[in-house]
Amino acid sequence: MQPADVAQEVEQLTCNQQVVGSTPTIGSSEGVRDGVSGGDNIYMLRPLNEAVYARIADFACGTLKLKKLGLALVQTAFGPTAERAVRSEIEDKYPNCKVVAVQSNSAVATDTTQQVQAFKQAGVDGIISANFPAPMSVQVNQLRQNGMDIPYIGGSSLSIAKDSGAITTGTQNLYVADDCVPDLKLNAAAKRFTKAYQAKYNTLPNYQAAQVWDAFQMTADAIEKAGAHDNAKINKAMQSTDYKGICDYAADKNNAFARAVYVYDYKSDGSKKLLKTYQLPFIPSTELGTTVPPPTTAPAAG
């Protein structure tokens, strides 16, 4: 197929209502292949939150050597899922690293003073945040305004918070765990993409830009392998994906594609510095948040 033909096929696959039920779909949902929101044709570009926050916990306790963790959790299913992953990771592996304070906030919180004061009273030496970008920005600023310039570790939402300019108290002690970081330029494809994207848009690409590009390329590649507009053949090709693009992907038994998480912090000029790379293990669906009861935590106002 020529590029134009591939593009037309992708458009048809995403727009034709008659085949949508059996068409391979790439998304960030945690509906794994055999989950309640999953299916044989559902694929996840991004890693499971369970995998990411277990790696964040390892970094906090193993690399940063933190002893008294605070957990800042958004009041959605995301929060308890992250808490479960953190506690499971450190329970046996890091006996000297404890969760001493858990605070939650709404997804649209504009004031986290109560949570910040609770962290301060508990004497936490670092915070793992499973949150949305806006509350993260508020909390980082308020922590520092209250004399708590301590490690603050989060997922890709923290990079969005930083890039938005809403964190006005500096980038020191911010640590991000992200599954696709094109401007770290870890391979030739990432270097080319970052250069072209910056030239066109006058800003650096984030994981969203890179993964949309990679998703299109993987889908086009599957169509090429299938050789026809045949949903079953395309789906079979998708399930055998092993793709090295801006970031790397390989489908596992959950139809999850992401293979690694990269932990970085920020240099004084705002650019990123890679600190650690974690390969992501396969997590059976029976161990995921959709099937395991959430931990018991007392919610905080906010």
Q: What domains can you pick out in the chain, each with its CATH number?
A: 3-23+184-250 (3.40.50.2300), 49-180+260-287 (3.40.50.2300)
pLDDT of residue 230: 87
pLDDT of residue 283: 76
Average pLDDT estimate for 76-97: 93
Q: How confident is the model at residue 36 (pLDDT cuts 50, 70, 90)?
A: low
pLDDT of residue 260: 93
Average pLDDT estimate for 39-68: 92
- Which secondary-structure segment (H or E) carries 283? none
> For residue 254, which of 78, 23, 46 has the smallest C-alpha distance?
46
Q: How confident is the model at residue 37 (pLDDT cuts 50, 70, 90)?
A: low
Q: Is the pLDDT of residue 12 over 70?
A: no
Q: Is the pLDDT of residue 71 over 90?
A: yes
What would the pLDDT profile of 220-256 be if each residue is shown by its tens digit? 999 999 988 888 899 889 888 899 999 999 988 888 8
Tell me the C-alpha distance between 49 and 89, whole Å. 13
If one compares 30 and 18, the residue with the highest pLDDT of the two is 30
Q: How confident is the model at residue 5 (pLDDT cuts 50, 70, 90)?
A: very low
Q: How confident is the model at residue 21 (pLDDT cuts 50, 70, 90)?
A: very low
Mean pLDDT for the chain?
85
Tell me the C-alpha distance between 79 and 129, whole Å. 9
Average pLDDT estimate for 278-295: 67
Tell me the C-alpha distance between 21 and 12, whole Å. 13
How many other C-beta atoms lie within 10 A of the C-beta of residue 244? 12
Tell me the C-alpha distance between 226 and 233, whole Å. 5
Report yes or no: 127 and 98 within 8 Å, Cβ to Cβ. no
Give all strands (DSSP E) within 112-168, no chain letters.
126-130, 152-154
pLDDT of residue 33: 72
Give all strands (DSSP E) within 145-232, no chain letters.
152-154, 174-178
Its pTM stands at: 0.84
| Region of poorest pLDDT, from 20-29, 162-171, 215-224, 252-261 | 20-29
Average pLDDT estimate for 260-271: 94
Q: Is the pLDDT of residue 68 over 90?
A: yes
Q: Is the pLDDT of residue 1 over 50?
A: no
Q: Is the pLDDT of residue 219 over 60?
A: yes
